[in-house]
Structure 1
Amino acid sequence: MKQLVELLAPVGSKEALCAAVESGADAVYLAGKLFGARAYAPNFDHEQLAEAIRFAHLRGVAVYVAVNTIVDNNEMAELAAYLQFLYQAGADAIIVQDLGVAYIARQVTPGLPLHASTQMTVHNLAGVTFLSETGFRRVVLARELALADIKYICQHSKAEIETFIHGALCICYSGQCLMSGMIGGRSGNRGRCAQPCRLPYTLVDEQGQDVLQQADTGEYLLSPKDLNTLELIPDFITAGVKSFKIEGRMKRPEYVAIVVDTYRRAIDAALNDKAAAIGEQEQKDLAQIFNRDFTTAYLSGRPGRNMMSDRRPNNRGVRIGRVTNYQAAGKLVTIKLDEPLNVSDIVEFWVKVGGRVSANVTAMTVNGQSVMTAPAGAAVTITVQSPVRINDRVFKVYDARLMERAQSFFAGPSAVRRIGIAVKVSVAEGRPLTVEILDSEGFTGTAQTNFIAERALKRPLNRETIAKQIERLGTTVFELRELECSVDGEVMVPISEINDARRRAVAELEKARLERFKRPALEKIQSVQQAELSVHDPVRRRKALTNARKPELSVHVDQLDKVEAALAGGADVIVFGGENFSHQPIGLTEYREAVKLVRRYGRKITLSTPRLVKEWQRKVLAEEFRLFGELKPDAVSVGNVGTLQLARTLLELPLHGDYPLNIYNNAAIAFLAGQGLSSVTLSPELNFSQVEDIAGKSPIPVECIVQGHLTLMVSEHCSMGSYLGGLHAGSCSKVCRQGYFWLKDRKNERFPVITDQFCRMHVLNAKELNMLPHVLKFGNIGVDRIRIEGKYSQAGALGKITRLYREILDQGEKHPRLAEPSIPANENQALTRGHYFRGVL
């Protein structure tokens, strides 16, 4: 028997909630006005949230509330109160990105189930295992996984697995994107992504030349197509996926209705081995309601440019034909249709010059005759206000009939998705009339009239009269399927009494249906005080900070010549390994040599791991861990929860948590310290004030990045391989190793684009972070270590900048360079102070 699965729908408004429930969702996910990753959706206030949960629960639909942003220390008390509200309102689970949120939830609402958001970047079994062992019931996997990986994880996981099946894709691994925050101050990790991936870019070389000028490609080089897995639903079921998630909390309710209805029928067909129930029309409906063209993303491999919507970053509609004639004088255009067209539709012409021309179809003719609808194959004439040309392509971007069908799910006066009930009515002289209701799931509701039945003088009760009143279910969710009437003798009961008994029986049934979602009341309402997130001995911590003359200086590198340059420049700590930007894998020999070199200088070394470790990489990582155990570095750095799980299982060494873990508050530090981390690098999206607050309360040493080109995006998609290397054809010419490339935006900022040894693309910041003039402030506010990101630097330049930091740390305010208005890291290179003075929204 095939396992039951859950269809999970996105909800950003009350109308979308109705659309999702009525079109067949088993569960919905939504957010309140606080801490949701779609801050620009309408969302729900507290009263609306409580009503939404009741609305869904009455219909047997689960509600998961997204609390999936990273949270500031100052927001923790508000977070705790919000979580307690969600618990009491009956939310079935919360969806979490920030480990600090999970930490607080376990304290204040231990009975509230946790789901790990895709923003946690969980992409391997070890990550799922870690979260399962730390209290998570479900994990949403990264969208970069192949179907084979998903199946493997499902087969070995104790946690439920949820995966996306439809909707928009991020080009960057979710939870790893710093681009929106860095270029516009609106952080995706805080729910305010400005979607820089949907903007135009030019891929340029060292001379600034457009390397795709002769290629048949658009300018939206980071804009993926939309995910569509309709034909893969049976495979997901076989793989063992529990929850099938549709993306789209920012989408209109009509989108939710059509997509949910389509996948509902696909899932039901697959569960009942009726594959023929889904066909070409369903795919057309999905495309018509919204598409950037469709892809199955990485489920079957790396599709290269075939995954990208590089010509248009928004809805493209459905192509319905081409222009065959245009009369400028009358503004009349004739279209040879490949698909039907109706009055009230909206079409868009993809003109060769000037972009797009839109037209509302208010009237149309075929062979001179006015028509309301035209079939495929017809030549239809409509009015268009702007010039078009013969052979221009025509797309339908609004289908009036499809929208009418979509709106029927949520805009009608009564429910579409009704619950069948069987009703038994019994009455006898001298007794009250009794209404007993049994629904299709076995829940019951019973009520009696206050009136005692009397002998009828004129019109005794009969089945027809009773049925007429019982059928009046109005706007309730119930539908009468069966009625049994037992009338003993000729009796009379007022119609108003029968109606009142029916209403009360329905209310009892509703209460019974809601009771199953009820959870025990909180034993006590807890608040979170900042002291609870501090070290156990804050006095000792302050004393340690006072006695510390300066923070340690660490340098993160990927090549041995940079190790030597950083050591010669005065680095206290070398961080070696992880992703390599020189296209050469870091082998066991390199790790040995790096440790030997650092020990010769008498310094510390942390051996780093990749921020992403898919299942195929685990064997190599295990070999590296065996070597690390032999080499005994001062620490091993991990950047995701999966690697943390493997490291704490296989190693007996100090573990450091790197910034891809998005450590934004003391609760996250408390959580990770409890899981074995001995130090952490804070999120680069924090400002000085936030860093000071965290550092002063942290039970373990904290590090901040002060120098280097930060990775703003990391992606399985490679622009160079996709557009120049032939990746879409199944192989890649490794053009990325034949030169250097940048993505140039509309403001002529050039973002370095580089690949690592795993062929993942990293988009670096156009400006190099440089905190030299303010480096002493880090020590003053309690930061234990500052770090230079040196992977993108040449050894010579890295040695010089390391020396500058070393000298300023050693000489303090006396250093002559501090008097200069700015201290460039490299000549003629743009610099940034990152978020240290501004933070993010």
Structure 2
Amino acid sequence: MKYPEILAPAGSKEALIGAISSGANAVYLAGKRFGARAFADNFTNEALEEVINYAHMRGVLVYVTINTLVYNDEMDELILYTDFLVKIGVDALIIQDLGVLDLCLKRYPDLDIHVSTQMNTHSVDQVKFLKSLGVKRIVLARETPIENIIAIKKEVDIEVEVFVHGALCVSYSGQCLMSSMMGGRSGNRGECAQPCRLPYTLLKDHEIVSLESYLLSTKDLMTLEYMHALIEAGIDSFKIEGRMRKAYYVIQAVLSYKKARDAYFNKTSLDLEEDILYLTKLFNRSFTKGYLFNELPKMINQNLRPNHMGVEIGEVLSYYNHQVKVKLNDRLAMHDGYRIISHHKDYGNIITRIIKDGALIKSAEKGDVVTIDVKEKIEKGAVLLKTLDQSLEDELSLYMDEHYPVIPLKGICIIKKDQPIYFEVKDQEADFHLSSDIKIEQGLTQHTTHTQVLEKLSRLGDTPCYFESLKIDLEDHLFVPVKILNELRRKMIHDILKARLKRQQKRIIHHDLNISDDDILSEPTLVVKVRTDDQYEAALSMGIKDIYIDYRLKKENPFSYKAFSNIQHISKEIKEPVIISESGMLYRIKEGVSFITDHHFNVTNIYSARLLKSYHPTSITLSEELSKKHLENFHKKYFETFKKRINLEYIVYGRAQLMTTKYCPIAKTFDTLPHCHLCEKNQYALKTQQGAVLPLLHNGFCELNIMQDKPIHLISYIKEILSYDIKRLRLDFTIESYDETKKVIADFQKALTIDHMLKPTTPHVFGRYLG
């Protein structure tokens, strides 16, 4: 059975050093652009070269994330950047964007390419599709249960990487537009503002059925106690989330998960109680074993608070004059962080004084009654939480020394009379041999001892090496000059470290990316997507021919396409015209069947369009995140680059699908089991603090789509959009009535036939079109 890799986040140099020192096999990080954690420290190009050398010298792999969507006007910069990464020896790229993926697979044939979790890969068919492109490893969606992972490993010969610890996204990654559409900061561009961590109220048929709480905020994933199951599932890499976390968090997570993994293979007993406590102290939103092990919604959500929960260490006995008296059930020390929580108060600070029996003390223990300073009035019975454990961080800071020894060596030194010194050292990768230039003679007045030789050769100073074993074979009565021993040691370490830094040169190939087929551009066409019978009948009554019909509607129409959920759970061959939303459907579609790729493919550049075009869709729907600036030259850029035309589609009306989630706030609220069907019996919605009402729509597979409160309505801009050679304009209906559907279609039909601009007559938004 393969030894799984421990893969650690490195959002800063301190975290990288800590991860390597504590035993990570690989780290993942980002440069200053194109990473999904734009607000982490990240690394300049100069720093990237430095840290790759640092990691490689210590036998640790470095994966660089390019896990954002990329626009056409950024592609030249991106290629310069990826060329640079290849030249400095990066071990793999982690990629979200389909176009970037295709480009890098062709341009760097010797480089390992990993697919980011942002590509939302969760099924055997998706993995087979990506494998066919040449991908080395898949970072699976966090929603993938272990039984699916086992099936993937059984059916596809490909490396699989799985998140085992850290923050969970409530949405399928790469399928979330909530931050983008509600606040202009795109999660697909590394700028997520985390609106899912804000309070919401659940509505049922417009009536409040839950108090305002953090109804979408997830607990943190923690699978430390389930390492045996994950190892036996055949997972190749255990990924720790946390590029925005402090180095102490990364260090402890690596130590704990390495300990659990090694215990499995060494068949040793394991007590994880202390590790779990340390992980809880460093950061937690409470823990869940997540979708990996099919947790219920109530076990996924933490609705009390969206940030660090800390560890409960005491209770407030009284308050007087900006001081509280507390009884402790765990240790408290100077410089610890704390929060005091009650029904009406959430107050936090750093400990600057601890008073016990009228005297100042540096720390207090379990059972002590102490007084601490506060700046707000606190009620009796409030709970004291420790949110920063200074002594734990002090212990872990040992691993943040950049000279921390991590390379074990085994050596032997043979010193015989009238012979050169022979020095042999092995690291994990090779054997190294040196001999002295001079022969060793018998000492007349001084004799070198075994201890002296050992001390000189094992003095490795500020290097990453240490001797695991060093055998000295020394004849008696010989004199060995200290200078010779020092020179041998320095030369040996120099040779070892130089060898560890040797890079395998990787090829960069400039491909001709032309494709063989050319589209005849459509006439300007209104296409309609419907979810209800009434919407379908309204579309027919208005003479619409191209209709995308929700797969649950039993309608027959020679011009229609069946519209499936963007999260697929079917595995049969597709034999009828269809609008598809994920790559597994490309693998399943029967040759010759007409299909359209939906906006869920996140097409933001011509290279993504080119890859999808190679599978011969009728048209390609562009991302809803593309603004006017990005749309106006899209077709022109495609034609200039590939000398071909392409049929493009853009959504000009409809509520944006803010996210698709496997978590159900309805089941959480009513404490029901999966497939309770409550979402089918009533209309549920989430209400924001600002009063916006976000409809919740089920997809038929016990998953929810959270919709925007108002539809995007671009009727004023359709002539402009058509001038960009985007000829298929989609109206996407979700909760509209028969009359509302007819009215919208009629307005857009009119707008196509008149010269002057029409304006929306109902509440609306413009999405990202205007920037």
TM-score w.r.t. length of structure 2: 0.93
Q: Which residue of structure 2 lines up, in the alignment, with residue 721 of structure 1?
A: 667
1:136 is paired with a residue whose SS is: coil
Report matched runs for 1:730-809 at 5 Å.
730=673, 734-809=677-752
1:744, distance to aligned residue in structure 2 (A): 2.4
1:271-320 CA-to-partner distances (Å, cap 9, x unmatched) read 2333x423322211111000011111223335123321111111110111
Q: Is the contact between residue 68 and residue 98 of structure 1 (CA under 8 Å) also seen in structure 2?
A: yes
1:456-507 CA-to-partner distances (Å, cap 9, x unmatched) read 5653544333222212101212112333445578666653443233112111
Give the counterpart of 2:535 among 543, 556, 562: 562
Q: Which residue of structure 2 lines up, in the alignment, with residue 638 of structure 1?
A: 580
* Aligned counterparts of 1:135 and 1:181: Cα–Cα separation in 2: 31
Q: Which residue of structure 1 lines up, in the alignment, with residue 324 of structure 2?
A: 333
1:612, distance to aligned residue in structure 2 (A): 0.7
Give the counterpart of 1:225 among 213, 219, 223: 219
Check if 1:417 corresponds to 2:406. yes
* Aligned counterparts of 1:29 and 1:570: Cα–Cα separation in 2: 53
1:335-380 CA-to-partner distances (Å, cap 9, x unmatched) read 2223232333222100332x32224333434555655443333333
Q: Which residue of structure 1 lines up, in the alignment, with residue 642 of structure 2?
A: none
**Aligned letter for 2:210?**
L
Q: Which residue of structure 2 lines up, in the alignment, with residue 681 of structure 1?
A: 621
Check if 1:665 corresponds to 2:650. no
Residues 242 and 481 of structure 1: is their aligned pair in 2 closer, same or farther, counting only changes over 3 Å? Answer: closer
1:678, distance to aligned residue in structure 2 (A): 4.2
* Aligned counterparts of 2:373 and 2:185: Cα–Cα separation in 1: 42
Check if 1:612 corresponds to 2:564. no
Q: Which residue of structure 1 lines up, in the alignment, with residue 314 of structure 2?
A: 321
Q: Which residue of structure 2 lines up, in the alignment, with residue 32 of structure 1?
A: 31
1:38, distance to aligned residue in structure 2 (A): 0.7
Residues 306 and 800 of structure 1: is their aligned pair in 2 closer, same or farther, counting only changes over 3 Å? Answer: same
1:768, distance to aligned residue in structure 2 (A): 1.0
Q: Is the contact between residue 408 and residue 468 of structure 2 (CA under 8 Å) also seen in structure 1?
A: no
* Aligned counterparts of 2:613 and 2:479: Cα–Cα separation in 1: 74
1:50, distance to aligned residue in structure 2 (A): 1.7
Higher mean C-alpha displacement, 256-265 vs 731-740: 731-740
Q: Is the contact between residue 316 and residue 397 of structure 1 (CA under 8 Å) also seen in structure 2?
A: yes
1:563, distance to aligned residue in structure 2 (A): 2.1
Q: Which residue of structure 2 lines up, in the alignment, with residue 397 of structure 1?
A: 387
Give the counterpart of 1:511 among 486, 490, 498: 498
> Structure 2: 5+ residue runs without aligned partners?
640-644
* Aligned counterparts of 1:150 and 1:482: Cα–Cα separation in 2: 41
Residues 609 and 767 of structure 1: is their aligned pair in 2 closer, same or farther, counting only changes over 3 Å? Answer: same
Residues 340 and 389 of structure 1: is their aligned pair in 2 closer, same or farther, counting only changes over 3 Å? Answer: same
Q: Is the contact between residue 428 and residue 487 of structure 1 (CA under 8 Å) also seen in structure 2?
A: no
Q: Is the contact between residue 551 and residue 778 of structure 1 (CA under 8 Å) also seen in structure 2?
A: no
Check if 1:575 corresponds to 2:548. yes
Report matched runs for 1:263-662 at 5 Å.
263-274=257-268, 276-326=269-319, 328-329=320-321, 331-353=322-344, 355-366=345-356, 371-410=361-400, 412=401, 414-426=403-415, 429=418, 433-439=421-427, 441-449=428-436, 458-485=445-472, 494-515=481-502, 518-522=503-507, 526=510, 550-578=523-551, 585-586=552-553, 590=554, 593-595=555-557, 599=558, 604-614=559-569, 617-618=570-571, 622=573, 625=574, 629=575, 632=576, 635-647=577-589, 650-662=590-602
1:802, distance to aligned residue in structure 2 (A): 1.2
2:399 is paired with a residue whose SS is: coil
**Aligned letter for 1:272?**
N
Q: Is the contact between residue 534 and residue 737 of structure 2 (CA under 8 Å) also seen in structure 1?
A: no
**Aligned letter for 1:227?**
L
1:433-462 CA-to-partner distances (Å, cap 9, x unmatched) read 4533222x2523344556676775653544
Residues 417 and 380 of structure 1: is their aligned pair in 2 closer, same or farther, counting only changes over 3 Å? Answer: farther
Q: Is the contact between residue 576 and residue 594 of structure 1 (CA under 8 Å) also seen in structure 2?
A: no
**Aligned letter for 2:633?**
D
1:167 is paired with a residue whose SS is: strand
Q: Is the contact between residue 444 and residue 508 of structure 1 (CA under 8 Å) also seen in structure 2?
A: no
TM-score w.r.t. length of structure 1: 0.86
1:244, distance to aligned residue in structure 2 (A): 0.9
Q: Percent identity?
A: 33
Q: Is the contact between residue 571 and residue 806 of structure 1 (CA under 8 Å) also seen in structure 2?
A: no
1:758, distance to aligned residue in structure 2 (A): 2.0
1:833 is paired with a residue whose SS is: coil
* Aligned counterparts of 2:188 and 2:308: Cα–Cα separation in 1: 25
* Aligned counterparts of 1:449 and 1:812: Cα–Cα separation in 2: 92
Higher mean C-alpha displacement, 488-497 vs 504-513: 488-497
Check if 1:708 corresponds to 2:654. yes
**Aligned letter for 2:579?**
S
1:180, distance to aligned residue in structure 2 (A): 1.0
Check if 1:162 corresponds to 2:161. yes
Give the counterpart of 2:236 among 242, 246, 254: 242
1:393, distance to aligned residue in structure 2 (A): 0.9
Q: Is the contact between residue 426 and residue 486 of structure 1 (CA under 8 Å) also seen in structure 2?
A: yes
Higher mean C-alpha displacement, 463-472 vs 261-270: 463-472
**Aligned letter for 1:360?**
I
Higher mean C-alpha displacement, 708-717 vs 142-151: 142-151
1:291 is paired with a residue whose SS is: coil
**Aligned letter for 2:583?**
V
1:395-420 CA-to-partner distances (Å, cap 9, x unmatched) read 0001111111221111x474153413
Higher mean C-alpha displacement, 166-175 vs 777-786: 777-786
Residues 791 and 363 of structure 1: is their aligned pair in 2 closer, same or farther, counting only changes over 3 Å? Answer: closer
Report matched runs for 1:105-184 at 5 Å.
105-184=104-183
Q: For the aligned residues, what is the CA RMSD? A: 2.5
**Aligned letter for 2:624?**
P
**Aligned letter for 2:390?**
A
* Aligned counterparts of 1:234 and 1:44: Cα–Cα separation in 2: 35
Higher mean C-alpha displacement, 302-311 vs 16-25: 302-311
1:237-286 CA-to-partner distances (Å, cap 9, x unmatched) read 11111111110011110110111111111111222333x42332221111
Residues 359 and 196 of structure 1: is their aligned pair in 2 closer, same or farther, counting only changes over 3 Å? Answer: closer
1:536-557 CA-to-partner distances (Å, cap 9, x unmatched) read 69xx87xx56xx6x42211011
1:205, distance to aligned residue in structure 2 (A): 4.6
Q: Is the contact between residue 560 and residue 594 of structure 1 (CA under 8 Å) also seen in structure 2?
A: no
**Aligned letter for 1:552?**
T
1:735, distance to aligned residue in structure 2 (A): 3.5
Check if 1:834 corresponds to 2:767. yes
Give the counterpart of 1:261 among 245, 255, 263: 255
> Structure 1: 5+ residue runs without aligned partners?
579-584
1:378-397 CA-to-partner distances (Å, cap 9, x unmatched) read 33333333221211011000
1:741-767 CA-to-partner distances (Å, cap 9, x unmatched) read 332223322222222322211111122
1:52-71 CA-to-partner distances (Å, cap 9, x unmatched) read 12222222222111111111
Higher mean C-alpha displacement, 444-453 vs 655-664: 444-453
Q: Which residue of structure 2 lines up, in the alignment, with residue 16 of structure 1?
A: 15
Q: Is the contact between residue 444 and residue 512 of structure 1 (CA under 8 Å) also seen in structure 2?
A: no
